[in-house]
Structure 1
Amino acid sequence: MLHLAELPASHGLPETATAILDGLDVFAVILDSSLTAVYANEVARRSETPTELGLLRTSEFRKRAQAALASGSPSHRDPKPSDPGAPVRTHVIPIESDFLVVIAEDLAEEQRLTAMRRDFIANVSHELKTPIAAVGLLAEAVLEAAGDPELVREFAASLVKESKRLADLSRDIIQLSEAQSTLSPELLDYVDLRAVVDEEIDAHESFAGRRGVDLFFIDSANPKRTSAIQGRKSAIESAVANILSNAIRHSPEGASVRIRIAHKKRHFTVTITDSGPGIAQEHLERIFERFYRVDGARSREDGGTGLGLSIARHSLRAHGGDVTVRSKPGEGARFTLSFPLNDIPKKKRAKRVKRTRKALKQLTDTKGRV
């Protein structure tokens, strides 16, 4: 059995080879002619449960290694697409006459990201295909019905609806891309979370009114504490807007949506509770996935793109926070957005300032200077 952490630092090997391997951030070992490990770089020595280590023990690998030693030619092998359980790319390189350098790269995370990217592109293509086709067909229909004003108005109304759907989807794809990007320091501003919530409630009043839904705002936040964080204002606005518009959209006419802000320990929270049909347990873990819809037909009919909750979660997590949901069928849904704060309550801040001033005064009195 290989015990890489117990291997000596060099084992008399060429310093150039070991220096190069030490500079790599991937698993790398040197085997002797009996295929026994005689050197491991830092990454390999730290590995506790590496896929790469198991690969060195397989009969297939040993045959490759012996063939490389016999021929003096390097061997490179990529993981098999048909075997996701073995996501390792290996390089077996003979050095001198009795040693092999083995470099192994675990591509599991890369494959996962590639699969996510592939699925996302497929989903975007699918979602865009319908409104694009509809816009084309409706435009042709308007041209053919040019002599019938009533038909033109009917087709034009449908054209406006589909073009809006296309615009909303394009906007949400852009917002999702921004939400998943790293927050660059130069793009950060001080964002007043209380003000953002106020603005979004005002912006959604007309939408709620058209759907016959009342908005109730409850301010439980500590007035002595700040509600400001450093972040990207547009991303936070879109997160709050997506959750709030979802709550309004899924609440029946005559119902209400409650928005509560509060301070919870070191966090500022925004809780949005709707009066909708609720969400079954099997859907709760998936509703934040891109394009996932509990009721696809209803969501499209209501104008949803299937990206709003995903945008909200990515935006919150990029700011160090998160969004969670609690719901049961027939009981509505409650979404909680949580933002971490680094503030000190005014009372504690005042005490700290007072202690600092007292210490400075004592120091001045003792030495006559600061």
Structure 2
Amino acid sequence: MSIPTRRGAPLRLPVWFAVLAGIPLAALGWLGWRLLVQERALEQQRQRERLEDAATTLAQDLDRALARWEELLPAVASGGSISLPPDVVALALDDRGIQRHLGLPLPYYPVVAVSVAVPSGLFTEAETLEFARGDVKGAEAAYRRLAATADKKVRAEALMRLARCLRKEQRPREALASYDALAEMGETAVAGAPAELVARRERIALRAQMGETAAAAQESAALAAVLSSGRYHIDRATFDFYRESAGASAAPTGASALARGVDEVWSLWRQQPTGRVSVVTDRAPVVAVWRRSPSNTAAIVGRVDTLVAASGVSKREDFLVSLEDPSGGAVWGATSVDRSSTVKTSRETGLPWTLRVAAVDAGPGEALAARRRSLLAAGFALMALVVAAASYAVFRAVNRELSIARLQNDFVATVSHEFRTPLTAMRHLTEMLEDGYAAADRVPHYYQALGKETRRLQALVESLLDFGRMEAGRRTYRMEETSATEIAQRVIDEFAGSPAVRRIEWERPSTGDTAPVCAIRADRDAMALALRNLVDNALKYSPESSAVRLSIHSHDTLIGISVEDHGFGIPRAERRDIFRKFVRGHAAKALNVKGTGLGLALVQSIVSAHGGEVLVESEPGRGSVFTIVLPAAPAVRLDTQSRRPFNVKSEVNLKSEIESEV
């Protein structure tokens, strides 16, 4: 396979250099990376060992905290004195209800003692009057007599029935008084619940019937406070019934979470003689320990936060610790899932949770390894950037050379065609004259055609030679003071023998613009060549029915020579490239317009040598305006107020536009 060359220089040497330099570089990088990987693996192993030790220590701290609770269970069962932290409750229960309660009061319990009911026969006479005979007055009198008895249970039942009769008689104020008396009886059971709860619930309903919304809300808040205080031993069904009556006022509390936990683990207490368990309630996770004895079951229930704080685990700042239930749900703490962690299951630790421990930071060893890896990565990135930049530069250079080569090929083909056309005509005419086939009256026309094609061929050769000299920097200019008007007239005269001269509109300077005003220092031949190229392009790239306008204007110390056509226009993306050698616009190729691609490059070179610039205004489909801007002769002083500006933007604006496009 052959190796391509760039301007004669073989690419084999840089290719082999890149290969030979890349192999040891890649090997060194691979070895260094393997070393860092091994160091990282070793550091990770050390980190795992540290986490294992920390997890074992933390599990032991939690186990000791639970063991301290378990040491209190015998005293709870026997009725001894114990000290409990906040948010912890100790209970001694049996199947009949709560035997002993220590610590935070609970709003409800899983089981409560059943109170002795009042004999139903005591209220038979009064209820017969109330319901069977409809004698509410007589029933009221009977209930008042029973409410005066000394037995609290009988009195509570009688007050409840008395208030009912008063409500039937539309005596709400007296009914409220009866409910007040009933509420003062506190925990006395009535209708299966403490008398105060029953009375407060009925007062809420009665206040609402009376339209006393604010008073009803106060009664609801009072009922909610009583429920939250844990003043009475009630079961969960009773609590939920009266909390519904209290409405939004009965917000959950920390005691509610403990009560919920006690209610959920009550079945375990009855099934298992001893154990540890953690449950997540709707309020907060709780943990419980219990032990059954022949007389009762002693249990201690507390918030997980309280236990963790007592164990000292929450004070560890060097590790992240989390507790999870058997289903994987978070109970306490939070460990980022992105960190490697050590897990201790409940079987390993004897705790009611899965313990997860992760490091807060990577540690000094891991940080050092990370810095080394970062340094290595930065070095390789820098090398990759250098290689990429070099590759891009080589690509740009090669691409530029290929583009120039393509343009040169197009140029050769175009120039060959341009040479072939006049040479073919000259050959046919010469053959006709040599063979004597030409009629005598046509011979002068043939000689005239030969002269025309000869001059055309000479102009083409001269333009190529001029451009070659300009490219090589050997073109010399004879600068002398002349008039832009004179140069423009000279170019128009050169087109005098062509039909295209009828399309040229020569807008001469106004009477006020005298010849000295349009004076410039220029090489007449070179500037005429540049202007002729612009006029020739305007004629070629515009419809034959449209005019080409040539005008000269002055602006400050500048002279502008403008050539305006109504042709196809130039897209904005091509306005810079058309001044490069061999480059032809898309319209020229699409419409098969003849040309070498050197015209505008020649114009640019000549104008730049004269200290000027070529400005372009164009809109696709509407035509173009090419303006040669040259400095006026030094002796000329212009009165800008009396001179008409040329038909382009001011120099400052035009330069800004060109810079923005670049």
| TM-score for the superposition, normalised by structure 1 | 0.51
Residue correspondence of structure 1 range 298-317 to structure 2 within 5 A: 298-300=592-594, 304-317=595-608
Quote the sequence identity (%).
21
Give ranges in structure 1 of 5+ residues lacking alignment.
1-58, 65-79, 88-107, 349-370
List per-residue Cα deviations over 1:64-115 (Å, max 9, x = no partner).
9xxxxxxxxxxxxxxx9xx66457xxxxxxxxxxxxxxxxxxxx8xx99988
2:103 aligns with none
| Residue in 1 that maps onto 2:503 | 213
Give the unaligned 5+ runs of structure 2: 1-19, 26-386, 640-662
Within-5 A mapping of 1:9-20: none
CA displacement, residues 201-233 of structure 1 (integer Å, 9 cap, x when unaligned): 2333443x4475142314158438643333322
Is 1:125 the equivalent of 2:412? yes
Aligned AA for 1:227? C
AA of the residue aligned to 1:173: L
Tell me the SS of whatever aligns to 1:287: helix
- Aligned in 2, Cα 1:342/1:274: closer, same or farther, shift over 3 Å? same
Return the alpha-carbon distance in structure 2 between the equivalents of residues 211 and 344 of structure 1: 34
2:530 equivalent among 239, 246, 257: 239
Higher relative contact order structure (alpha carbons within 8 Å, sequence separation ≥ 6): 1
Shift of 1:344: 5.2
Higher helix share: 2
* Contact 2:612/2:631, CA 8 A, preserved across alignment: yes
Q: Which residue of 1 aligns with 2:479?
A: 188
Aligned counterpart, 1:335: 626
> How does 1:1-370 map onto structure 2 within 5 Å?
85=392, 122-130=409-417, 135=423, 139=427, 166-180=457-471, 182=473, 187-207=478-498, 209-210=499-500, 212-219=502-509, 222-223=513-514, 226-291=517-582, 292-293=584-585, 294-296=587-589, 298-300=592-594, 304-341=595-632, 343=634, 345-346=636-637
Q: CA deviation at 1:176?
A: 1.8
Alignment check: 8 A CA contact 2:617 2:626 kept:
yes
Give the Å deviation of 1:175: 2.6
Query: Could you tell me how far 1:242 is from its partner in structure 2?
Result: 0.9
Are the structure 2 counterparts of residues 140 and 162 from structure 1 closer, same or farther at C-alpha, using a change threshold of 3 Å? same
User: What one-letter code is carried by the residue in structure 1 that aligns with 2:592?
Assistant: R
Q: Work out whether residues 484 and 518 of structure 2, in 8 Å CA contact, stay in contact via their aligned partners in 1.
A: yes
Structure 1 residue 259 displacement after superposition: 1.7
Deviation string for 1:111-148 (max 9, x for gaps)?
99988876675444333334556747995998699698
1:360 corresponds to which residue?
none
| Conserved 8 A contact 2:482-2:520 | yes
Structure 1 residue 261 displacement after superposition: 0.9
Q: Alpha carbons of 1:158 and 1:131: their partners in 2 closer, same or farther (altered >3 Å)? A: farther
CA distance in 1, matches of 2:436, 2:516: 65
Distance in 2 (CA, whole Å) between partners of 1:335 and 1:307 is: 16
Query: 1:334 Cα deviation (Å)?
Result: 0.8
Alpha-carbon distance in 2 for matches of 1:86, 1:198? 48
2:519 touches 2:633 (CA, 8 Å); kept in 1?
no
Give 1:306's aligned amino acid: G
One-letter identity of the residue aligned with 1:312: V
Distance 1:132 1:183 in 2: 25
Q: 1:198 to 1:255 in 2, by over 3 A?
A: same
In the TM superposition, what is the alpha-carbon distance from 1:313 to its structure 2 partner? Answer: 1.2
SS of 1:245 mapped into structure 2: helix
SS of the residue corresponding to residue 593 of structure 2 reads: helix
Distance 1:298 1:212, change over 3 A: farther
Equivalent-residue separation in structure 2 for 1:310 and 1:285 (angstroms): 11
Amino acid at match of 1:245: D
CA displacement at 1:244 relative to structure 2: 1.4
Separation in 2 of the partners of 1:345 and 1:149?
Answer: 58
Q: Residue in 1 aligned with 2:273?
A: none
Write out per-residue CA displacement over residues 216-271 of structure 1, whole angstroms, 9 at most, x where no aligned residue.
31415843864333332211110111111222333334432222211122211011
**Match of 1:295, as an amino acid?**
A
1:125 is aligned with what amino acid? V
1:336 deviates by: 0.8
What secondary structure is seen at the aligned counterpart in 2 of 1:295? helix
2:492–2:501: 8 Å Cα contact kept in structure 1?
no
- Structure 1 distance, partners of 2:494, 2:452, is 21
CA distance in 2, matches of 1:181, 1:227: 31
Whole-angstrom CA distance in 2 between matches of 1:344 and 1:112: 48
After superposition, the Cα gap between the structure-2 partners of 1:121 and 1:275, relative to the gap in structure 1 and judged at 3 Å, is closer
CA–CA distance in structure 2, aligned partners of residues 212 and 224 of structure 1? 25
What is the TM-score of this pair, normalised by structure 2? 0.31
Amino acid at match of 1:287: I
* Count of aligned pairs between the two proteins: 249
Aligned residue number for residue 50 of structure 2: none
Q: Provide the rounded CA distance (Å) in 1 between the counterparts of 2:616 and 2:628.
A: 9
C-alpha distance in structure 2 between counterparts of 1:130 and 1:195, whole Å: 34
Q: Which has the larger radius of gyration?
A: 2
Structure 2 counterpart of 1:273, one-letter code: E
